[in-house]
Amino acid sequence: MPSIATLALASLLAVQGASTSIHQGLALEKYIKTERAIALQGVLDNIGPNGAKVPGAGRGLVIASPSKVNPDYFYSWTRDAALTFKTIIDDFLFGNRALQPYIEDYIHSQAILQTVSNPSGTLLPNGAGLGEPKFTVNGSRFNGNWGRPQRDGPPLRAVALIQYSNYLISQGKRDRVKTEIWPVIANDLSYVGQYWNSTGFDLWEEVSGSSFFTTQNQYRSLVEGAALAKTIGVSCTGCSQAPQVLCFLQSYWNGKSITANFITGSHNRGGVDANTILGPIALFDAHAPCDSPTLQPCHPRSLANFKVFVDTFRNSTLYPINAGISQAKGIALGRYPEDTYYNGNPWYLITLGAAEFLYDAIASWDKSGSLTIDATSLPFFKDLYPLAREGTFTWYHPSYYLLQRLVRSYADSFVAIAQKHTPPNGMLAEQFLKSAPFTPTSAANLTWSFASFVSMTHRRDGHFPPSWVPRTGPLKPVVPSVCTPGGSVQGTYAPATAAGAPNVTAPCLSTVRFVLNATTYYGENVYVTGDGPTLGGWDLATAYPLLSSNYTAERPLWWADVPLDMPAGSATGKSVVTYKYARQQDCGRDWIVEEVERTVEVPACRTDGSGEVMAETDDAFVGEGGKPGGC
């Protein structure tokens, strides 16, 4: 029998192809060094107020992409911004002190954004407005039709701010954290504690239900939040929910892989989705044990799921771009196999995220000094090393070294895919075509793509974020024996005025159910426009979208329960609201607006945030119908 060391060498040579690997390796190192600088600048160019590519963006607001048409990503998303700042804060902690002003601007911008009333609701009295996914580039509300609420924004923002707060505390700035930053974090943690067990839209903004990525980050935020609260001597509303969130997190494992979403209503999804790769890298802690129920990248279930996810895209009918690539090599990765958005192409941030996932796993093994292969993770390892077997290998064992090298070279091969599809100017779009010519597509200069590149290089270079998974004590992750449904703690919410938030009070709301008969074609949308901020003050760009969820051929019904934010003085008696309906035509054509002016009488408004319907209309559209534009 050959010794394990001989096998190691033979296998390395077989996998890499000895003569080309050195050349390719050098080219990859050079690409990473050059692209890293471009990517960091790409991120900063998309942040207001001085970002070169986003004139008009507010201070501290991260714009998803400068692209304003096909697609229009010229908005600030809470999730993208938080993930971006998580990486910026990492880079700052690893020594890039020039980034501090950006972080300070971010804190300020988010304190204000928390108070902006929006179609998901308001900060006061119940925090519902924190679930709003996106805002305009100057931080004003976005009223358009959208998948809302999205419950990953608040926990991700809390995680980023907690990381920076812990740094400030290490610099003796505990009081500043307590008075200025904690109030922002506390709102987000209250939101997590109150709504983690309610449905919401996933990170791709497409399906409503529960999402692995969201649950995983919710858990992290509550644990870290509880630790920070203890350090600064305050209480954390909502953090007590952490064990139940952890319990729920375990239920996404289906015996073979992680089911990415529990979806409400009918759908065609098989459950394989990149959110199960992006979740583990967002909560990576190099010091957490690999069997931690937080589901780190090195967890056997995460590795098994990684293989299932990646193998789905090895199908060359689905992804011609991956034809002919061997099982031990990285490929181009997309969101989920049923994806039709832009025809369902590979994404840079997912392909790079897969590399980051593997660098994370290696770091965990290196920190603990051993690597365990069990029946669940064996298929993952066998792809890289057919002779792999179950067992625990300590760092001085030749198998440890062999496997570690193979996983690293596997990770590098995902980066090489991104390299192959990076244009000469280094700009990273959202996607690249799955079929020839494999060129970039969808939003250009996507902030999240650039941030994912920077984050990948951190892990590859051995720079790891501070540890957050407690090893002992009451916050140590322990899965409760029974998961209890209906988990929720009423949050406490207040504007973070010390960080610059306006001192808002609970709005006075009169909720009206707008009910309209309007026969429409597929692609046409209907809005209500009218008096006051909720109906957009007669500006069609900020009109309120109606739902077609109950539309049938027999009853062409459009409707919405609209919580009208009423002016002061409406609390004591009835008032009249003026409105009309507007049809938004497809293909970017002009709107069709009703010529009648309608009124509805509403009872005195309420500040308890109940959202109870107080008046209902019964309308039929007046004016011409729309016709498809045929684009």
Ligand X SMILES: *[C@@H]1O[C@H](CO)[C@@H](O)[C@H](O)[C@H]1NC(C)=O
Say if CB 272 and CB 313 are below 8 A apart.
no
Options 4, 38, 378, 483; binder of ligand X; rule CB under 6 A? 483
Q: How far is the CB of 217 from ligand X (least distance, A)?
A: 14
Residues 6+ apart with CB under 8 A from 143: 118, 119, 536, 542, 543, 544, 545
The C-alpha torsion from 277 through 283 and 289 to 294, rounded to 10°, is -80
Q: How far is the CB of 56 from ligand X (least distance, A)?
A: 8
Closer to ligand X at the Cβ: 3 or 317?
317
Number of residues near ligand X (by CB under 6 A): 34
Query: Do the bridges between strand 557-565 and strand 575-584 make them parallel or antiparallel, or are there none, so unpaired?
Result: unpaired
Closer to ligand X at the Cβ: 245 or 403?
245
3-state secondary structure 406-466: HHHHHHHHHHHHHHHCCCCCCCCCCEECCCCCCCEECCCCCHHHHHHHHHHHHHHCCCCCC
Residue 236 CA to its chain's centroid (Å): 23
Q: What is the DSSP letter of 178?
A: I
Options 24, 100, 140, 166; binder of ligand X; rule CB under 6 A? 140
Query: What is the chain's Cα-based Rg?
Result: 25
Q: How far is the CB of 36 from ligand X (least distance, A)?
A: 16
Options 327, 394, 435, 505; binder of ligand X; rule CB under 6 A? 505
Closer to ligand X at the Cβ: 138 or 394?
138
Options 393, 559, 581, 621; binder of ligand X; rule CB under 6 A? 559
Options 445, 449, 510, 525; binder of ligand X; rule CB under 6 A? 445
- Binding segment toward ligand X, per CB under 6 A, in 26-34, 118-126, 402-410, 616-624: 616-624
Please name the residue ranges forming H helices in 251-347. 275-282, 300-312
Closer to ligand X at the Cβ: 48 or 626?
48
Does 427 engage in binding with ligand X (CB under 6 A)?
yes
Does 515 engage in binding with ligand X (CB under 6 A)?
yes
Measured CA to CA, the distance from residue 402 to residue 9 in angstroms comes to 8
Closer to ligand X at the Cβ: 92 or 432?
432
Print the binding letters for residues 203-242 with ligand X: x by CB under 6 A, - otherwise: -------x--------------------------------
Measured CA to CA, the distance from residue 306 to residue 257 in angstroms comes to 8
Catalytic residue among 91, 152, 202, 412: 202
* 3 state DSSP class of 544: strand
Half-sphere exposure in the Cβ direction for 597 (13 Å, CA) = 6
Options 555, 572, 573, 590; binder of ligand X; rule CB under 6 A? 555
Told to judge if 590 belongs to the known catalytic residues of this protein, a careful annotator would answer: no
Does 620 engage in binding with ligand X (CB under 6 A)?
yes
Options 444, 479, 506, 604; binder of ligand X; rule CB under 6 A? 444
Options 135, 191, 248, 309; binder of ligand X; rule CB under 6 A? 248
Helices 212-232, 182-195: axis angle to 10 degrees equals: 140
Helices and strands (H and E) in the chain: how many: 15, 18
Say if CB 102 and CB 45 are below 8 A apart.
no
Q: Structure tokens of 28?
A: 């990859």
Catalytic residue among 45, 104, 205, 586: 205
Does 266 engage in binding with ligand X (CB under 6 A)?
no
Q: Is the peptide bond before 101 cis (omega within 30 degrees of 0)?
A: no
Q: How far is the CB of 557 from ligand X (least distance, A)?
A: 6
Q: How far is the CB of 139 from ligand X (least distance, A)?
A: 8
Options 138, 326, 343, 467; binder of ligand X; rule CB under 6 A? 138
End-to-end C-alpha distance for the chain, whole angstroms: 67
Options 503, 573, 597, 630; binder of ligand X; rule CB under 6 A? 503
Does 315 engage in binding with ligand X (CB under 6 A)?
yes
Told to judge if 205 belongs to the known catalytic residues of this protein, a careful annotator would answer: yes
Q: How far is the CB of 168 from ligand X (least distance, A)?
A: 21
Closer to ligand X at the Cβ: 45 or 366?
45
Say if CB 328 and CB 384 are below 8 A apart.
yes
By the 10 Å C-beta count (0-12 exposed, 13-18 middle, 19+ buried), 407 is classed as buried
Q: How far is the CB of 13 from ligand X (least distance, A)?
A: 31
Closer to ligand X at the Cβ: 171 or 317?
317
Name residue, tokens 């519902």: 128
Half-sphere exposure in the Cβ direction for 18 (13 Å, CA) = 5
Say if CB 304 and CB 298 are below 8 A apart.
no
Does 425 engage in binding with ligand X (CB under 6 A)?
yes
Q: Structure tokens of 630?
A: 């045929």
Q: How far is the CB of 524 from ligand X (least distance, A)?
A: 18
Does 615 engage in binding with ligand X (CB under 6 A)?
no
Options 67, 217, 218, 292; binder of ligand X; rule CB under 6 A? 67
Q: Structure tokens of 300?
A: 């056997």
Residues 6+ apart with CB under 8 A from 116: 129, 132, 135, 139, 140, 141
Residues linked to residue 526 through DSSP beta bridges, in sequence order: 583
The answer on whether 146 is annotated among ligand-binding residues is yes
Q: How far is the CB of 559 from ligand X (least distance, A)?
A: 4
Q: What is the residue type of 30?
A: K
Closer to ligand X at the Cβ: 276 or 409?
276
Does 187 engage in binding with ligand X (CB under 6 A)?
no
Say if CB 196 and CB 241 are below 8 A apart.
yes
Does 273 engage in binding with ligand X (CB under 6 A)?
no
Does 568 engage in binding with ligand X (CB under 6 A)?
no
Closer to ligand X at the Cβ: 198 or 392?
198
- Spatial CA neighbour of 207 closest among 243, 260, 276: 260
Measured CA to CA, the distance from residue 11 to residue 463 in angstroms comes to 29
Phi/psi at 592 (5° precision): -110, 115
Does 176 engage in binding with ligand X (CB under 6 A)?
no
Closer to ligand X at the Cβ: 92 or 182?
182
Does 619 engage in binding with ligand X (CB under 6 A)?
yes
Q: How far is the CB of 444 from ligand X (least distance, A)?
A: 4
Does 497 engage in binding with ligand X (CB under 6 A)?
yes
Q: How far is the CB of 101 from ligand X (least distance, A)?
A: 22
Closer to ligand X at the Cβ: 394 or 505?
505
- Binding segment toward ligand X, per CB under 6 A, in 4-12, 151-159, 195-203, 589-597: 195-203
**Annotated binding-site residue numbers:** 146
For binding to ligand X (CB under 6 A), which residues are involved?
53, 66-67, 136, 138, 140, 197-199, 210, 247-248, 262, 315, 317-318, 425, 427, 444-445, 483, 485, 497, 503, 505, 515, 517, 549-550, 555, 559, 618-620
**Annotated binding-site residue numbers for substrate:** 146
Active site positions, annotated = 202, 205
